[in-house]
Amino acid sequence: MPGRAESGSMDIPQHRLLVTGVPGPRSRRLAARRAAAVASGVGSTMPVFAAHAGGGVLVDVDGNHFIDLGSGIAVTTVGASAPRVVAAVQEQAAAFTHTCFMVTPYEGYVAVAEALNRLTPGWHEKRTALFNSGAEAVENAVKIARSATGRHGIAVFDHAYHGRTNLTLAMTAKETPYKRGFGPFAGEVVRAPLSYPFRDGPAVDGPAAAIRAIDEIRRQAAVEDLAALVIEPIQGEGGFIEPAPGFLPALASWCRANGVVFVADEVQTGFARTGAMFACDHEGVVPDLIVMAKGIAGGLPLSAVTGRADLMDAPQVGGLGGTYGGNPLACAAALAAIETVEAGDLVARAAAIGDLMRTRLRGLRAADPRIGDVRGRGAMIAVELVEPGTTTPDPALARAVAAAVHQQGVIVLTCGTDGNVLRLLPPLSISDDLLAEGLDVLAGSLAATSPLQRAGAGR
Ligand SMILES: Cc1ncc(COP(=O)(O)O)c(C=O)c1O
């Protein structure tokens, strides 16, 4: 349904509209209650509190309508109140909300596993286990790889983000805010350089970057001790870094040759987001294990590990699971979200959204030397901001532009190890008109943000 959006059950008007300042009085009152009740370590990008969301719009408690270019960090790919998801969750809630799959199993869990075995790359025999969050699924992928190989070491990459639990923080690269003060972290994690075309330049192509990474892994660990290599096919929090062609296939074949489990962390890139069902599909890479979350269930908390049956079946019975893993409401939502993606050909819609965003943003880049790079695939596009004529990150500019965009009724996020990347992750239910308007606001904010204005911004 290109260019037209189903807003969802609340039938939210699909327009940008500011009826108060940002934040408005109701959001300010809630912010005061929040400050007194919620731990301050939990941050928020936007200063407003949500009341409704759907299509390409989020409405705050003051009645302001924001264009959503964030999807709750790549979660509401099918929209924040997609009709099929809403109906499926309502129906399931009326039947039962929980039994615990480890106590009394139910069909929804099995149906999600069947769907993921069908949709994930590769035609080999697969199995799936369901969890609650991306981090929990990454941890379980590591457990499965260790159990299957009898090895312990894990290889990860510069700029990686794999979550906030102890092991996944050891795997995550960025120190502040994620890791500072929270160690010591799990050991036996080695870190390798990523292929980062904007910073590597043309001299380091994908295969050369893979050799560089493998050399570094070998320097830090004996290959026979390495259980898994875990990689985001396109990095999320690290700055939407898309490795040069050939990097992922070279790493996958090195893993295969050395008995290392190749784990694709598709928590952010999965489920149509990048204009393919999974980002690995762009280069025909078939991971041994694939980790999914975020877009999997239309906003309900669900995550999964899917992979080769021989690996997935390695842990002892009872070794995998959790009280809520594969909760029935989340499974119903996932089946409805998958149906929405397939029925609406949202893979093609993501690709079209990507074309629209890239064309507009590359036009801006041609005229603005502060835009070092515009990259990404599908509805996952980044704008890397730098000091003009260099590759030196400019996080103050990114903060200032994002703040200006927010004030004008558009939700946009930042990312990157240096915090200098604007990232665009619209729901695939957004209309072309709204998307174009959101990009207009971004373009205007960039143009209006002078070095003087940004000096004090957001610090
Ligand atoms: C690639 C990747 N892996 C893992 C995670 C962790 O997911 P969660 O926040 O659901 O634990 C994220 C979250 O942003 C992610 O982007």
List, for residues 160-199, the tens digit of each pLDDT value: 999 999 999 999 999 999 999 999 999 999 999 999 999 9
Q: Which pair of tokens denotes residue 36?
A: 């007194």
* CB distance 378 to 353 below 8 Å: yes
- Give 3-state DSSP helix, strand, coil % of the chain, rounded to 5: 40, 15, 45
Going by alpha carbons, the residue nearest to atom 4 of ligand 1 is: 162
**Interval between CA 268 and ligand 1 midpoint (Å):** 7
Tell me the best of 267, 421, 423 to mutate to test the pocket of ligand 1, counting ligand atoms within 8 Å of each CB and taking the most.
267
**Looking at the DSSP assignment, which residues form a beta bridge with residue 259?**
none
pLDDT of the residue at 453? 55
* CB distance 64 to 17 below 8 Å: yes
Q: Is the CB of 140 under 6 A from ligand 1?
A: no
Question: CA–CA separation, 38 vs 54, rounded Å?
Answer: 26
* CB distance 297 to 339 below 8 Å: no
Res 5 pLDDT > 50: no
Question: CA–CA separation, 6 vs 85, rounded Å?
Answer: 12
Question: CA–CA separation, 217 vs 234, rounded Å?
Answer: 20
Going by alpha carbons, the residue nearest to atom 8 of ligand 1 is: 134
Q: Is the CB of 62 under 6 A from ligand 1?
A: no
Q: If you average pLDDT over residues 44-52, what whole number do you get?
A: 97
- Nearest Cα to 80, choosing from 380, 297, 265? 297
Question: CA–CA separation, 184 vs 162, rounded Å?
Answer: 17
pLDDT of the residue at 458? 43
Q: If you average pLDDT over residues 212-221, what whole number do you get?
A: 98
**Interval between CA 364 and ligand 1 midpoint (Å):** 30
Q: Is 73 helix (H, G, I), strand (E, B) or coil?
A: helix
Q: What's the residue count for the chain?
A: 459
Banded model confidence at residue 11, pLDDT cuts 50, 70, 90: confident
Q: Which atom of ligand 1 is nearest to the CA of 268?
A: 16
Q: Return the residue matching tokens 């731990």.
A: 39
**Interval between CA 188 and ligand 1 midpoint (Å):** 21
Q: Is the CB of 162 under 6 A from ligand 1?
A: yes
pTM of the model: 0.96
Q: Which atom of ligand 1 is nearest to the CA of 138?
A: 4
Phi, psi of 438 (to 5 degrees): -60, -40
Q: What pLDDT, in 10s, does the model give residues 343-366?
A: 999 999 999 999 999 999 999 999
Q: Is the CB of 442 under 6 A from ligand 1?
A: no
Res 122 pLDDT > 80: yes
Q: Is the CB of 133 under 6 A from ligand 1?
A: yes
Query: Please, what is the Cα angle at 17 between 15 and 23, to 5 degrees?
Result: 135
Q: If you average pLDDT over residues 335-348, what whole number do you get?
A: 98
Q: Is the CB of 163 under 6 A from ligand 1?
A: yes
Q: What pLDDT, in 10s, does the model give residues 217-249?
A: 999 999 999 999 999 999 999 999 999 999 999
pLDDT of the residue at 184? 97
**Interval between CA 275 and ligand 1 midpoint (Å):** 19
Q: Is the CB of 232 under 6 A from ligand 1?
A: yes
**Interval between CA 174 and ligand 1 midpoint (Å):** 13
Question: CA–CA separation, 425 vs 205, rounded Å?
Answer: 27
Tell me the best of 76, 154, 159, 162 to mutate to test the pocket of ligand 1, counting ligand atoms within 8 Å of each CB and taking the most.
162
